[in-house]
């Protein structure tokens, strides 16, 4: 159940939003999408569920970014780090 909640919040909702906005961007041959991922996607800082969801988001962003780039849409992600000493 926890896996479903974390994946839904950190990945699935974002994909669903993109499905709504990308067709218009592609039609207009212009768009900018910036996802907020996490360094946890790359360095395993935090719970496995969170790291996995952010890794999925980062992989999705890289893959989908390549798909929509020829249509003038730039998709990228920022991966902020956790504050030093902060608990996840």
DSSP 67: H
Which residue, 6, 41, 25, is CA-closest to 75?
Answer: 25
Give the residue numbers annotated as catalytic, written as ranges.
50
Q: How many CB atoms lie within 10 A of CB 71?
A: 14
Cα dihedral sign, 1-64-73-79 = positive
């Amino acid at each position: 159940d926890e896996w479903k909640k974390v994946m839904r919040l950190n990945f699935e909702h974002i994909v669903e939003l993109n499905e709504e906005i990308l067709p218009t961007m592609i039609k207009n041959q212009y768009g900018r999408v910036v996802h907020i991922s996490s360094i946890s996607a790359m360095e395993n800082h935090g719970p496995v569920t969170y790291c996995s969801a952010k890794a999925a988001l980062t992989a999705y962003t890289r893959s989908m970014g390549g798909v929509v780039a020829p249509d003038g849409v730039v998709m990228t992600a920022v991966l902020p780090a956790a504050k030093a000493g902060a608990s996840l």
